[in-house]
Amino acid sequence: MTAVDSHSAAALHRRLQEATRLAQLEDTVGAGQPARARRRSPARSWSLLQSLPAPGGVQPLRAEQERALRLVLSGLLESGGAPEVPCGLAGLRGPVLIVRSGPWPLLRALLGALAAQPHAGPFSVLCHVRDAATLASLGRETGLELTPVFYPRFEPFVTATLRRVLADGGWETAFVLDASKHGRGLPLEHVTSALDPVTTTYVWNGANAAFRLRPLRERLGRERYALVRGLLRWHAARAEESA
């Protein structure tokens, strides 16, 4: 490990220890208050990190490290609020990519809503080759020019393949279709994770409602986002060392 990496690890460890003390102080301040239903204590998660080694310290069991990281990362993600927010389509800008991850009537409803947005086009639709005729018919029906982006095989969408197909798209906005009336895109993570992070991604569900997916940086803020990245990099470095 280089000197820079050692200093970075030491700095991260000091930050974690400081966070532990702050979280424990919060628990102390809350003591004596009326009993109520409590979520998992941040102090409990942070305190597990005390078992993680400082540079040159005694190595704990790998299982303890994994459990501590899972709890801390889970707590950080929960602190960022919901990963999606309901929204309208006003002000939406193109070019727009639509992933046909839902039935044709749902796509038709979305296109009808997008047709009312003056700056939404041009439109591309990711679909299978066998969908070409139906997509062309839908374009004539809605009066929109729909450019097909063909998925190479007739199979459920695979994240790695999607990344290759969409690599050079440059879309400003993307929509995924969730057929559930209360859907918010949770079953479509294998699709949304393949989209470019700079693309604003929306879910359009079976109730004709739109939800904007919030990027992790937005949910956590700069400091907590940096902490999550640091923890993941630390974990990856540890995994490489033990391989």
SS3 string, 167-226, reads CCCCCCEEEEEECCCCCCCHHHHHHHCCCCCCCEEEEEECCCCEEEECCHHHHHHHHHHH
Does residue 183 sit in the same domain as residue 226?
no
What is the per-residue pLDDT for 236?
A: 79
CATH number of the domain that residue 107 is part of: 3.40.50
Instruction: Indicate whether 60 and 88 sit together in one domain.
Output: no
Average pLDDT in the 218-243 region? 76
pLDDT, tens only, 199-212: 999 999 999 999 99
Q: Supply the range of the domain harboring residue 231.
A: 9-25+41-82+217-242
Pair (65, 88) in one structural domain: no
**Percent share of the chain, pLDDT over 70:** 73
- Residues 95, 141: one domain? yes
Q: How confident is the model at residue 128 (pLDDT cuts 50, 70, 90)?
A: very high
Q: What is the pTM of this model?
A: 0.64
Q: How far apart are CA 225 and CA 195, in angstroms?
A: 20
Same domain, 104 and 181: yes
